[in-house]
Structure 1
């Protein structure tokens, strides 16, 4: 293995995303991920024994290392190690970053990485009491920062951001409608690309709909005020799904490509850089802005050089403010639709962004000279975390 290689996304796939209690409700998180991992091996034209490591993000599991379970279900060799990562919403993208770092360090040549989540089958959480005579206490969410830090509910933090920036309820609704419109336009694409596990999984994201502005504006406020509040239309719904990529070192990628007769270029995205950054737990939505700035500074590039940006839409206002402050072009933002139009399977959401970049930028022909060929994915997480990657279609 060679130190100093760059990681290339050689294949990328995901399942459909379905709201909690929907078409994927009967599957555990590892059962959702396994067919995705298996398909990636087929797409890349490798053998299961060629994989060096598996990283999967997951936020709601109760133990058991879902990455290992998924790897074994996918038919990988028992000798392939697997690690489950929990950085909440950043988990899926952080898993890809960790796989890329392993390749860059020369510790692996081929890695499967992504995320998986089943809101529907997630464990019921309870805290054991200090005194065994007391009953256990159920809870919905753990603490994401210690008591000495601000640790708001994420919807409350987003509502605060909307109030501070004057982002109206109507503007958020319009953004959500645009997200659904983009996703609806991409339905035919998804039917060709989503892993359906032999017809077991749906062929399209089931939450995407023909959402009208009038309907979106009528949705009741769930957090914040009537003027700038968040509604069911502008908050991504809880969902189930899985997504992953197959990473190769650029050396291995080109060796395999060169062995293909009459091939001019094999699809792939080179990961130029990536960041996992910490910020204020009280303002988690804003951390990805610093992630993007750090990546732009490192590479000497800017938003105008991006052909596609995948930005997590946990809340409409979060995406809107981030896009505005980074000067991201709306026409190049979430071109296949965002989380508002599909749902938010927490541990998988960051990996879905990477899969969409692959779908948008990785083609059989090299980009024309002078054409924009860069893509960026950004996501925020509870506790004040943010992650991102910047990729190139020129491998």
Structure 2
């Protein structure tokens, strides 16, 4: 049920996504976020806030800096939040809360990551790649090792992972070639650089990342995402104030914790809780966007949710395995993709879309959207 205060996404844009050290490496997180925010401002009143997700940036309040850089009034505050790989989706959920509570001002929300300019962090004179996902006494695997462990845990074969990765690239290559990403992209110096037509034929040549694993090592660079640079943003308004603009009504959300040893399973309890709250069934959902950090992780979560490996609803234009994974932005990229797949493509009112992500440390974030026209 879409109430007058239901938050509705009425604009959704993203930058191209490029591999770390690639075509966007000279741009900072603020440089990436600013054009995505500007692109969502058309025909909007002055927003009440800007909320951005970010994982590994320079610190400080990136959302505030990007809001000012985008030309917003100095009275618009800005908040930067960190839920690791779920940050972009969490930012959208957070920005929607005041609207649902009755604040009728628009919000801008999304996520950004410049992996290329992420600072080196040092503690006690020693550089480290990331902060802990969990405290001492709890499992704290990095996400790559955790995905390999999940492949062993669930018996997900190399062939199955490679087949899933191949589909992601094939779908993204087709969509890019047909101009299917054009309406959502803000112009920068490049197009998406991740999708590669040759990858499906090359997947069998990639060496195992963990040959010491119990299954001989099924995770490879080919069936894993690439760390990437990019940003995505959406504009949210209350349903009563959207006028005749079509959009995606945010009808339910869920954020949950799970075993930090197997963080890739986070979407499972999140989606289950989400569907229970919404009184819906996953079979009712027309479009699913899961952050494909690793083929093994996506397959483990989807299988538990009763979704087939090749279900056409899942990342129908390719996902992070092909496009890349700008950590703090990827959850927001999923919402931009749902907007294109459903709103821009003319799906009828009432059509449902799902976005979900797994998070380091053992979390899952999920949001259910409904097309309004």
Distance 2:47 2:142 in 1: 39
CA contact (8 A) 1:216 1:233 kept: yes
Q: 1:252 Cα shift?
A: 1.0
Residue 250 of structure 2 aligns to a residue in which SS?
Answer: strand
Distance 2:137 2:104 in 1: 40
CA contact (8 A) 2:55 2:87 kept: yes
Q: How many residues align?
A: 365
User: Structure 2 matches for 1:339-354, cutoff 5 A?
Assistant: 339-354=320-335
- Correspondence for 2:144: 155
Q: 1:91 Cα shift?
A: 0.4
1:193 to 152, 159, 184: 184
Whether 2:354 is the aligned partner of 1:376: answer: yes
Gaps of 5+ in 2: none
- Correspondence for 2:225: 236
Distance 1:139 1:363 in 2: 43
Distance 1:363 1:13 in 2: 12
- Correspondence for 2:302: 323
Q: 1:13 Cα shift?
A: 0.3
Deviations 1:18-52 (A, max 9, x none): 0001110001001101011101112xx124xx210
TM-score scaled by structure 2? 0.94
User: Structure 2 matches for 1:245-324, cutoff 5 A?
Assistant: 245-253=234-242, 256-257=243-244, 266-324=245-303
TM-score scaled by structure 1? 0.89
Superposition RMSD on alpha carbons, in Å? Answer: 1.7
Distance 1:364 1:19 in 2: 28
- Correspondence for 2:315: 334
Distance 1:218 1:60 in 2: 31
Distance 1:327 1:393 in 2: 24
Distance 2:235 2:261 in 1: 35
CA contact (8 A) 2:184 2:336 kept: no
Deviations 1:101-149 (A, max 9, x none): 121112452000000000001111111x3xxxxxx11111111110021
Deviating 4+ runs (over 3 angstroms): 211-214, 224-228, 363-366
Distance 2:21 2:200 in 1: 26
Gaps of 5+ in 1: 130-135, 258-265
Q: 1:302 Cα shift?
A: 1.3
- Correspondence for 1:220: 207
- Correspondence for 1:176: 165
Whether 2:69 is the aligned partner of 1:76: answer: no
